[in-house]
Every structure is written in structure tokens, then in C-alpha cells.
A and B are shown apart, each in its own frame.
Chain A
């Protein structure tokens, strides 16, 4: 390891199921498939390179005073202060394989203006809505009692509550509506099944927007068709080929 941690992040986890399902794929294309990727939540770490090091950060554009979605070269002794995550709740930190071994592929950067470069947005698209009567385009505020298991929201205006259902499978992005009317979006570490009514599913490409939300942030839902949601996925797939420029 050519990095020492001067101050750890509030939470720093190797991610098999990241909140932003695209971050890991993009960063692996940026640094090579044997890069290690960490999801840092609420604060990032202070790092110091002990030798020449290459790393990359995945975060919304402008959240950090460092370039994102492209390799950052550090020389021995250089520090990176990632404590303040300018208005977003998490970042992805990718460390290239040890500089003594050869990188697995040529390094790349994500082209400026590419849809792969995430931006923070409270607009959450739903690729499925169970019942239009329970759909609300009102604003919902993220509560502090949220984590990777579930994002809990408070409705700004009174929303009709859901009913109890025979337990059914839940996945990351399932929107549950408990009788209180305050929705919960199931997170990547959330339950496998649940008995609060599932009223909608967040479109895959909107999961990226959930990843950056901070308690107090507002979101609003909108509906898109499943076909449109799949088209957005394929657009990002195409961008993975088109927008990664060798550097």
C-alpha cells in the first residue's frame, strides 16, 4: 500500500453493492479492474501518499476541490484532504493497484460533459408505480435516521399512507409506503422482503441521485416508462464505451 490514512472517513467500506451502482464500474474503467474501491460516507479521509500513487474519486461534479472521475497522481508525501464533501453525503475512492505492479489497463478519464459524470439532483424517476392514487409529486425530505438499509423521508404535506401487505421481495430502489405516509426507499443493505406496501421502484439511473443525498435534502418523484428507464441504462452503457478517453 502506498497510502497512509491520516484521518479516516466517518464510514469507509469496500463496496460490493454501492449506493451509486455505476460508480464502481466507471472507476474500474478509469484505473483498471484491480483498483480497490471504497465508499466513504458523510466525511472522507485525509490521505498521504508514501510513494508515487494513483487514485481516482467518484463524486458529483464540483463537490470536491479535486478532479473527479479521472486519475489523480500523487507523489510521495503529498496529501489529499477529502473531509469536506461539499454538499453530498458520500464519495467513492479508487486506489490503483500498487505502483510497483503494472496497471491492468491503460488509465482513462471520463470526458467532460459525459452523463457518467454524476451531478447532484433531487429529481428521482420511478420506472414503476403500483397505483397512481398513491403517487405523489410532492417534495419529500431525507431524514437523519437513514442509512444503507433504508432512506427515510418525511412528506412535506400530508400523504395518504399505504397498507400492510403479505410480505413480498424488496430490492434496492423499492419505495415502501408505511401507514404513516412517510416513504422509505430500500437501500442496498435493506431487507430481502417487507410487509409495508411497495408503491414504486426507483429507476436504475436515478439510484445515482439517491447516493449523494444528505439528511435535510429534498427529492421529488416523477414517472417514466420501463422502456424509457431501460433506454437510459443503455445510454450509460454506451457512454462507458464512448466517453472514457485514454490519458
Chain B
């Protein structure tokens, strides 16, 4: 399978919108992995594309942050205000081309099977689960919302293999997405986020699982506590990457 440089059908899948003076939201019209699947790329590429985007540098040195279905590019207002005022449309068009080229590059790689291997680690996370007052503050809430027992929720959570989908929230945090076919747990976020969630809290939010890297506010549902952290303090980088696999293991009491 061969692809031309940035095909229109890739570009057509990205919409762009300025959401402040300096922040441009590039949104994938469908979920990114569905999009790429239609390009004939295997699902695992989703992780590689995300890894590639989260590590890429924008030509203007603008900040690139990945969301679930979007990429936001934020320019430094101090150095770019005049350019942003003068060349909004050009900047927007170039950003679509830039992201399209990254996706095209991945599409091209997928036709070369030797470049198709994603080196992924499997990470076991030993976690304490306990009573509502001390550790698993929201386990009963989640059980009620799913009409299951707390034991059944934990059983589903522990039976799930998660994939590191993309970084975000704070350094050391990643959105962990259940692998396809995993048992489902509904976990709507709190109506008002808590002012303080402890560091190491294992929590569920929407379809995702995550580990709070530091004490701070948060709206996810706390179900456990781990001592493991995923930030290398020597270089400030995350120690996991999109595509890595994660399995939670209950710490023996």
C-alpha cells in the first residue's frame, strides 16, 4: 500500500478552530484509531501516532498537547501576538498540513511491515484496595452506578489490561484505556471535583483509569492506592509511553 504525501482524505478528517487568541484546536472528526483503521492501518498504530505526536515539535516551537480526539497547539503570545493577528488563516492552514503530514508519515510506515513494531512494556501496578473511609473512597458509588457489588467492580478492574493511551493532566499521569473486549465499568466524574485527591490514588474517570501523580484537585472516582509513580525526577519525563500495557495487581494484605 502506497500513500501520496498528505492525501486529502487524511486532511478532511481534521477540523481546526481557534479557541483563544493563541490556542488552535485540531479535532479528529472521528476517533483517531477509527480514522486510521479506515486507512488500512492496524489499531496498534493508534499508540504509535500518539507517541509520535506527543513527542513532536511544532515548527513555530508552539506547545503541542494531545487530547483523546484532538491536538491543541498553543503559541507563545509574547513572541507571536503580531503574527497571530496578521496570519491567522495561514497559521491554521499550515497546522492542518503539519498534523496531516505526521499522520501520513505513520500511514506510509504501516505499509512497511518492518517499521510496524511498537516496543511496548507491560507494567504491573501493585495497588491497595480497601474500605471507603481510607482508600477506596468511591468504590461503593461506582458499584451503585453499575448495579454491581464492590467485589464485582474490583474483579472487572483487575481483569482489565489497560493501554497507556496518551499523557496529560499532570507530569507522570497517563490516560489508561481498557483494551478492547475488557469488561466495562461506567465511571462518571464527580459533579464537583474534590479539592484534594492523594498522590498515588488509582481512579476511574469516564472510560479511563489513571493514577494521580501528586496531591491535588480531581474529579475522578478513587478506588485504590499505589506507591508506584511514573515520572523520572532526574529528567522530568514520564516513564511510560503510549502503547505500554498496564495491569493492576492487588497488594496482599
* B78 close to A (CB within 8 Å): yes
* B60 close to A (CB within 8 Å): no
Which of A60-68, A84-92, A225-233 lies on the face that meets chain B?
A: A225-233
Complex contact B19–A128 (CB within 8 A): yes
Which of B79-87, B112-120, B145-153, B222-230 lies on the face that meets chain A?
A: B79-87
What CA separation (Å) do A180 and B191 show in the bound complex?
5
**List of A residues within 8 angstroms of B206 by Cβ:** 164, 166-167, 195
What CA separation (Å) do A21 and B77 show in the bound complex?
10
Once A192-B169, A195-B206 are accepted as A-B contacts, the answer to whether A230 and B195 lie under 8 Å apart by CB is no
Interface residues of B in 29-72 (CB under 8 A from A): 65-72
* A105 close to B (CB within 8 Å): no
Q: How many residues of B contact A (CB 8 A)?
A: 41
Complex contact B21–A226 (CB within 8 A): yes
Complex contact A226–B20 (CB within 8 A): yes
* B23 close to A (CB within 8 Å): yes
* A203 close to B (CB within 8 Å): yes
What CA separation (Å) do A230 and B219 show in the bound complex?
33
Chain A interface: which size bin?
A: 35 or more
**List of A residues within 8 angstroms of B88 by Cβ:** 226
Interface residues of A in 195-213 (CB under 8 A from B): 195-196, 198, 201, 203-204
- Residues 201-218 of B, flagged 1 when their CB comes within 8 A of A and 0 if not, give 000011010000000110
Once A168-B72, A195-B189 are accepted as A-B contacts, the answer to whether A128 and B219 lie under 8 Å apart by CB is no
**List of A residues within 8 angstroms of B22 by Cβ:** 204
Complex contact B170–A192 (CB within 8 A): yes
Q: Which of A166, A178, A226 contacts B219 (CB 8 A)?
A: A178
Min distance, Cβ A26 to any Cβ of chain B, angstroms: 12
**List of A residues within 8 angstroms of B175 by Cβ:** 167, 193
Once A168-B68, A169-B72 are accepted as A-B contacts, the answer to whether A230 and B21 lie under 8 Å apart by CB is yes
* B110 close to A (CB within 8 Å): no
Once A164-B189, A173-B20, A230-B85 are accepted as A-B contacts, the answer to whether A195 and B69 lie under 8 Å apart by CB is no
Residues of B within 8 A of A (CB): 18-23, 25, 65-72, 74, 77-78, 81-82, 84-85, 88, 167-170, 175, 188-193, 195, 205-206, 208, 216-217, 219
**12 A-B contact pairs sorted by A residue (CB < 8 Å):** A128-B20, A166-B67, A169-B66, A169-B74, A178-B191, A178-B193, A193-B65, A195-B205, A196-B219, A203-B21, A204-B21, A226-B18
